């Protein structure tokens, strides 16, 4: 246990926008508005996706432990190029495609004890608000019509690319437009990006709106959902580090372009999970789903623990070997806790030093978590304290009251971790 820690230090989070750790602040008292990116709805989520959702879950639960009230929106972008293509390939309606994926997402979220957000809107629910944003951007001449589509001109927005760090002085002078939501293999579309897809022959997804026949692009759906449910100023925007390419800078440019103000105070990004050193890809079969691990005899607590044990900004490389080593630590922790909280094996005596260690359980946990959610250090420190308390118990210096106090403190900690108690 690190006795040199300073108690009551503020929560510090690494802000991608400023590239440093900053004391966490909110716009309004202890209220937090948070936007988190939802899953793609054209395929089931894999364990790499779940790592991102678990990082966000830990953040939310920890903020609540600190006394914050979190208002969170998780969005389902259920109309995008990939979803349209997948629905055609499967020969089903796009809403049916989304329904199947969303149902499985809810089921797996419950299995992994992910705290459900208040709002999980779909893109089809906010088409009207998407159009409202596009009209504002057209009015400000940041967006423009070209043929049947509407595009966003990044050059017209002062500060475009500031989240990722694009050098706009190198932006091409020749006009180039990107008419698709996605371009495989390309991290950046260096040019104007699409906001509205004009309806073309053969396209089965389009609305007859005041902008004409068409559909909102993937780029506008996230901003529309965010501003519809949270407003134009929030405290935290979260997602996978890959969202730094195009997506979050597009969101920022759209929302700030409409409001003229700063959208999010903090931007947090979680590193990817790799499998045996390679990127997760369905096409090559280098992919693992939650069901695969559960069928192998793993518990939901094992999977949850493995995916968050390690700093969220560090890449995680899954191998069967390191998975087993990591979850073994959880099994040991649970066994030690069970031993400590068994009041029937406690003595009648206690010890002043024992009580001191017990009172440090929660403050030590908070101290580590306040350092940009250093959950690995928090758990290692927890292990060390519990090991010392087990020694007191073996020496007959651990009473029933000590056991009850330990249980009370650990349940507060497990309100965040969700792995100690079943």
Taking only the tens place, the pLDDT of each residue in 7-58 is 567 999 999 999 999 999 999 999 999 999 887 777 788 999 999 999 999 9
How many angstroms separate the CA atoms of 140 and 239, rounded?
29
For residue 48, which of 357, 270, 302 has the smallest C-alpha distance?
270
pLDDT, mean of residues 171-199: 87
> Looking only at Cα atoms, what is the longest distance across the chain?
83
pLDDT, mean of residues 268-290: 92
Specify the pLDDT at position 212: 84
CB-CB contact of 40 with 2 (8 Å):
no
Provide CB contacts within 8 A for 144, sequence distance 6+.
Answer: 138, 150, 151, 153
Taking only the tens place, the pLDDT of each residue in 154-181 is 999 999 999 999 999 888 889 999 998 8
Would you give the end-to-end CA distance of the chain in angstroms? 26
Taking only the tens place, the pLDDT of each residue in 110-130 is 999 999 887 777 777 788 899
Specify the pLDDT at position 356: 93
Q: Which two tokens stand for residue 391?
A: 């020694």
Is the model's pLDDT at 370 over the cut of 60?
yes
Is the model's pLDDT at 188 over the cut of 80?
yes
Is the model's pLDDT at 2 over the cut of 50?
no
Provide CB contacts within 8 A for 103, sequence distance 6+.
Answer: none
For residue 277, which of 244, 238, 321, 310 has the smallest C-alpha distance?
321
Buried b (16+ CB within 10 A) or exposed e, 250-278: bbbbbbbbbeeeebbbbbbbbbebbbeee
Q: Is pTM beyond 0.75 here?
A: yes
How far does Cα 120 stand from its chain's mean position?
14
Query: Does an H or E element contain 35, and which?
Result: strand 31-37
CB-CB contact of 95 with 182 (8 Å):
no
In this prediction, residue 218 has a pLDDT band, given cuts at 50, 70 and 90, of confident
How many beta carbons lie within 10 A of that of residue 344, not counting itself?
6
Is the model's pLDDT at 201 over the cut of 90?
no
pLDDT, mean of residues 130-153: 95
CB-CB contact of 30 with 36 (8 Å):
no
Q: Which two tokens stand for residue 15?
A: 């802000």
Is the model's pLDDT at 5 over the cut of 60?
no
For residue 364, which of 412, 422, 418, 302 has the smallest C-alpha distance?
412
Among residues of the chain, what percentage have pLDDT more than 90?
67
Q: What is the mean pLDDT of the chain?
A: 90
Query: Does an H or E element contain 257, and which?
Result: helix 247-259
pLDDT, mean of residues 92-119: 84
Among residues of the chain, what percentage have pLDDT more than 70?
96
CB-CB contact of 39 with 45 (8 Å):
yes
81/116: higher pLDDT: 116
29/85: higher pLDDT: 29
Domains defined for the chain, CATH in brackets: 12-270 (3.40.50.620), 320-417 (no CATH)
How many angstroms separate the CA atoms of 120 and 39, rounded?
11
Specify the pLDDT at position 43: 76
pLDDT, mean of residues 271-276: 96
Q: Which residue has the tokens 């990044």?
A: 154
How many angstroms separate the CA atoms of 121 and 228, rounded?
10
Return the minimum-mean-pLDDT range out of 82-86, 114-118, 200-204, 317-321: 200-204
CB-CB contact of 400 with 394 (8 Å):
no
Provide CB contacts within 8 A for 16, sequence distance 6+.
Answer: 163, 244, 267, 268, 269
In this prediction, residue 4 has a pLDDT band, given cuts at 50, 70 and 90, of very low
Q: Where does residue 419 fall: left (phi above 0), alpha (psi -120 to 50 degrees), or beta otherwise? A: alpha
Specify the pLDDT at position 97: 72
Radius of gyration of the chain from its Cα atoms, rounded to whole angstroms: 24
Specify the pLDDT at position 276: 96
Tell me the β-bridge partners of 398.
Answer: none
Return the minimum-mean-pLDDT range out of 32-36, 234-238, 270-274, 343-347: 343-347
């Amino acid at each position: 246990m690190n006795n040199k820690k300073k108690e009551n230090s503020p929560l510090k989070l690494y802000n991608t926008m400023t590239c440093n750790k900053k004391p966490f602040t909110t716009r309004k008292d202890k209220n937090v508005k948070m936007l988190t990116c939802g899953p793609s709805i054209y395929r089931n989520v894999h364990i790499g996706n779940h790592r991102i959702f678990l990082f966000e879950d830990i953040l939310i639960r920890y903020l609540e432990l600190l006394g914050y009230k979190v208002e969170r929106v998780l969005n389902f972008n259920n109309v995008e190029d990939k979803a349209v293509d997948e629905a055609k390939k499967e020969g089903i309606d796009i809403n049916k495609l989304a329904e199947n994926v969303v149902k499985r997402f809810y089921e797996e979220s419950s299995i992994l004890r992910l705290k459900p957000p208040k709002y999980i809107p779909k893109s089809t629910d906010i088409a009207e608000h998407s159009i409202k944003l596009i009209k504002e951007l057209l009015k400000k001449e940041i967006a423009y019509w070209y043929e049947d589509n509407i595009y966003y001109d990044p050059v017209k927005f002062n500060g475009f690319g500031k989240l990722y760090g694009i050098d706009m002085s190198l932006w091409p002078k020749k006009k180039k437009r990107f008419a698709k939501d996605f371009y495989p293999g390309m991290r950046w579309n260096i040019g104007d990006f699409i906001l509205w897809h004009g309806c073309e022959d053969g396209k089965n997804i389009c609305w007859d709106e005041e902008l004409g026949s068409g559909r909102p692009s993937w780029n506008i759906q996230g901003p529309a959902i965010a501003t519809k449910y949270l407003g134009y100023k929030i405290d935290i925007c979260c997602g996978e580090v890959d969202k730094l390419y195009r997506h979050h800078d597009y969101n920022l440019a759209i929302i700030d372009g409409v409001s003229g103000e700063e959208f999010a105070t903090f931007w947090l990004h979680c590193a990817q999970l790799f499998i045996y050193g390679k990127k997760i890809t369905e096409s090559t079969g280098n992919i693992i789903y939650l069901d695969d691990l559960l069928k192998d005899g793993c518990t939901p607590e094992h999977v949850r623990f493995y995916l968050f044990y390690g700093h969220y900004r560090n890449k995680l490389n899954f191998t069967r070997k390191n998975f087993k080593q990591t979850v073994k630590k959880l099994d040991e922790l649970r066994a030690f806790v069970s031993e400590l909280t068994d009041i029937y094996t406690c003595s009648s005596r206690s010890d002043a030093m024992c009580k001191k260690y017990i009172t440090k359980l929660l403050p030590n946990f908070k101290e580590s978590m306040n350092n940009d959610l250093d959950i690995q250090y928090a758990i290692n420190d927890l292990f060390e304290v519990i090991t010392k308390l087990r020694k007191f118990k073996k020496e007959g210096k651990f009473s029933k009251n000590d056991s009850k106090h330990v249980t009370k403190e650990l349940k507060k900690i497990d309100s965040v971790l969700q792995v100690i108690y079943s």
